[in-house]
Amino acid sequence: MNLKQAARGAAALDAGAILVFAVIGRATHEEGILGGNGLGLLGTLWPFLAGAAAGWVLAKAWNKPCAWWPTGVIVWAATLGVGMLLRLVSGQGVAVSFMIVAALFLAVTLIGWRLIAGWVAKRRGLKA
């Protein structure tokens, strides 16, 4: 796999993790996944995807897309920080309990898959 393919795959995994986060979050609340106007999921999703995009740029993640440090940590921090800021300015909720759950879930997924990929690569004698 070349670096371009790895970057595309990493971006897809990041977006998928954020999508799962948004779907689970919306499914556990009264508004449901789609919400009243059918755009509920998109409304929950876009701030965190924008944050992840900012993290990718800050980390230059395309250079080492599967590295948990610093790429994964920067992508996680930006996804969380920018995502919460965008939720705040767009009038969405940013309760402390939500921030804690988001921080933990996004850390486990955005950093976690990179840790697993590194471990697998090391076991196979590959460069992560």
CB 20 within 8 A of CB 26: no
Q: Which residues contact 42 (CB under 8 A, 6 or more apart)?
A: none
Furthest-apart CA pair in the chain: how many Å? 51
Q: Kindly state the tokens that stand for 123.
A: 């076991």
Tokens of 40: 């509920």
Q: In angstroms, what CA-CA distances link 48 with 2, 18, 114? A: 27, 7, 18
- pTM to 2 decimal places: 0.92
pLDDT in tens, the chain (128 residues): 799 999 999 999 999 999 999 999 888 876 677 666 667 889 999 999 999 999 999 999 999 999 999 999 999 999 999 999 999 999 998 999 999 999 999 999 999 999 999 999 899 987 65
DSSP state, residue 39: -
Residue 113: CA atoms inside 13 Å, Cβ hemisphere, count? 18
